[in-house]
Amino acid sequence: MTIELIVRGGTVVEPTWQGPADLFVEEGRVAAIVAPGAAAPAGSENARVIDATGRLVMPGGVDPHCHVGYASGEFTSLDDYRGCTLAALHGGTTTIVDFAIPSPGQRPLDVARAQRAKASEGLCDSALHASVVAWDDSTEEQLRTLASEGIVTVKMFTTYRGETMADDDTILRTMQTLADIGGMVVIHCEANHIIEEDQRRAQVRGEIDAGHMSGTRSALAETAAVAEVLAIAERLGSPIYFVHQSTPAAIELVSAARRRGIPAYSEGVAHHLVLDDGKYAGPEPERYVCCPPLRDRETVDALGGYLFNGEITTLASDHCCYDLAQKREHPHDVRSMPNGLPGVETRLPVVFSEYVVGKGLSPQRFVELSAANPARVNGLYPRKGALQPGSDADIAIWDAKAVWTIGSGGLHMATDYSPYEGMEITGRPTTVIVRGRVVIEGGELVDGTPRGRHLPAGAVDLTVF
């Protein structure tokens, strides 16, 4: 064994334990976790040693929901694989999972292959969710081909009629096929008919602008769609993963289904867990236009409770990198505004600060939510999301006490604003390691070589609970 990198003196954090330990890296993988100060094997004299004294040594984050250069209607989000992974790394995330979402008329297989080819531009590894919008005679074969190529998770939407919305038959058939091949649908649930009624009423009231975002997409629309999709999963016995759940009611439906034996999972997104709908009453409400919208403070606080009890499975960013010019293009009508918030870089620091430092969430649970569980449900564990012998040496070394203020100028995402502008944060990653190479040091990029790989997923792990 020839060790090339040693991380000494830190506190290693895994979901099931944490404590003082040193970490040996060999050929880009974790070789061993050893007692503090343990000697490296003979032949390792040239190993680089990183001093992590006083720091938390965590597996690099896995962001299970990240839109890179997403084209939707007239808008395309502004980053590419290099830009998105650069920002991810600065925020302690070392694996992103992107989406290949077909425009009308495109085949899921073709879109996924084209998007997958971009992974090599990234500064870290990535995986991909395919997407099905409309079922046809070729879809099952395309899904089986995708699975054979390591893409087993498929994004679906119950909303955005005429763009990405899939009907119930398409959702059922896709779930059925994926259950058969070890995959899983990951679904955006908002009942489109209710949303359209919400928006029709909002327009009649003259309240269809960003300042009234909350009233244009009701919480009821979310729970209605979650209940319908859970019924399909229950009938089929298939797994199901709900992206960006924004209300306790939606999470409770999933938790109840899980107690009935359905492998159903809830994803929480940083902005729904931290920001509330008071932002829509502020001077620039378009900065916060996202779907589902930000909810009221009581809902946000109740949602956060599910980070502690295990009923939120994963923590995601739902990163979508629009800038203010795009957000301001149609300020008076949220229906034509690009929805989505930049967040791949801020996901971990914001939730660490608000919940680990602020509310006593354990670092172990933080690692489980933000790295281990996202890797598991995407068939990437324990290669990613873990610090175990054999895992890729993707490591984020955190200064849990660093105090800093979020300002768009200090961030690396391809936009000119952050929804967290001005927020004081405690804790940040200072050194980030990708497959044994130090890429961020002292908060600065020190190695910008694109070494990203597309990660073929194994079967999704349905034993998360």
Here the tokens at position 131 are 């997407």
C-beta of 125 vs 318, nearer to Zn ion: 318
C-beta of 11 vs 85, nearer to Zn ion: 85
Q: Which window, 8-16, 282-290, 311-319, 398-406, contacts Zn ion (CB under 5 A)?
A: 311-319
Q: How far is the CB of 133 from Zn ion (least distance, A)?
A: 15
Q: How far is the CB of 46 from Zn ion (least distance, A)?
A: 44
CB crowding 401-414: b at 16 or more within 10 Å, else e = eeebebeeeebbbb
Q: Which window, 38-46, 126-134, 318-326, 347-355, contacts Zn ion (CB under 5 A)?
A: 318-326
3-state secondary structure the chain: CCCCEEEECCEEEECCEEEECEEEEECCEEEEEECCCCCCCCCCCCCEEEECCCCEEEECEEECCEECCCEECCEECCCCHHHHHHHHHHCCEEEEEEECCCCCCCCHHHHHHHHHHHHHHCCCEEEEEEECCCCCCCHHHHHHHHHHCCCCEEEEECCCCCCCECCHHHHHHHHHHHHHCCCEEEEECCCHHHHHHHHHHHHHCCCCCHHHHHHHCCHHHHHHHHHHHHHHHHHHCCCEEECCCCCHHHHHHHHHHHHCCCCEEEEEEHHHHHCCHHHHHCCCHHHHCCCCCCCCHHHHHHHHHHHHCCCCCEEECCEECCCHHHHCCCCCCHHHCCCCECCCCCHHHHHHHHHHHHHCCCHHHHHHHHHHHHHHHCCCCCCCCCCCCCCECCEEEEEEEEEEECCHHHCCCCCCCCCCCCCEEEEEEEEEEECCEEEEECCEECCCCCCCCECCCCCCCCCCC
Q: Does 267 bind Zn ion (CB under 5 A)?
A: no
C-beta of 318 vs 345, nearer to Zn ion: 318
Q: How far is the CB of 219 from Zn ion (least distance, A)?
A: 18
Here the tokens at position 447 are 């190695």
Identify the CA nearest to 265 among candidates 192, 316, 194, 299: 316
Q: How far is the CB of 290 from Zn ion (least distance, A)?
A: 9
C-beta of 318 vs 368, nearer to Zn ion: 318
Q: Are 188 and 217 in contact (CB under 8 A)?
A: no
C-beta of 15 vs 292, nearer to Zn ion: 292
- Residue 244: how many CB atoms within 10 A of its CB? 22
Q: How far is the CB of 49 from Zn ion (least distance, A)?
A: 40
Q: Does 63 bind Zn ion (CB under 5 A)?
A: no
Residue whose token pair is 């029709």: 200
Q: Which window, 114-122, 228-236, 310-318, 445-453, contacts Zn ion (CB under 5 A)?
A: 310-318
Q: Does 318 bind Zn ion (CB under 5 A)?
A: yes
C-beta of 14 vs 318, nearer to Zn ion: 318
Residue 309 phi, psi dihedral angles, 5° rounding? -95, 5
C-beta of 23 vs 101, nearer to Zn ion: 101
56-59/11-14 β-pairing: parallel
For Zn ion (CB under 5 A), the number of binding residues is 1
Q: Which window, 121-129, 283-291, 314-322, 414-422, contacts Zn ion (CB under 5 A)?
A: 314-322
Q: How far is the CB of 248 from Zn ion (least distance, A)?
A: 20
Q: How far is the CB of 15 from Zn ion (least distance, A)?
A: 25
Q: How far is the CB of 155 from Zn ion (least distance, A)?
A: 8
C-beta of 74 vs 169, nearer to Zn ion: 74
Chain positions 214 to 233 lying near Zn ion, rule: CB under 5 A, are none
Which residue has the closest beta carbon to Zn ion?
Answer: 318
C-beta of 26 vs 318, nearer to Zn ion: 318
Q: How far is the CB of 388 from Zn ion (least distance, A)?
A: 30
C-beta of 340 vs 363, nearer to Zn ion: 340
Q: How far is the CB of 211 from Zn ion (least distance, A)?
A: 23
Q: How far is the CB of 99 from Zn ion (least distance, A)?
A: 7
C-beta of 11 vs 131, nearer to Zn ion: 131
Q: Which window, 23-31, 160-168, 317-325, 393-401, contacts Zn ion (CB under 5 A)?
A: 317-325
Judged by the rule CB under 5 A, the positions of this chain that interact with Zn ion are 318
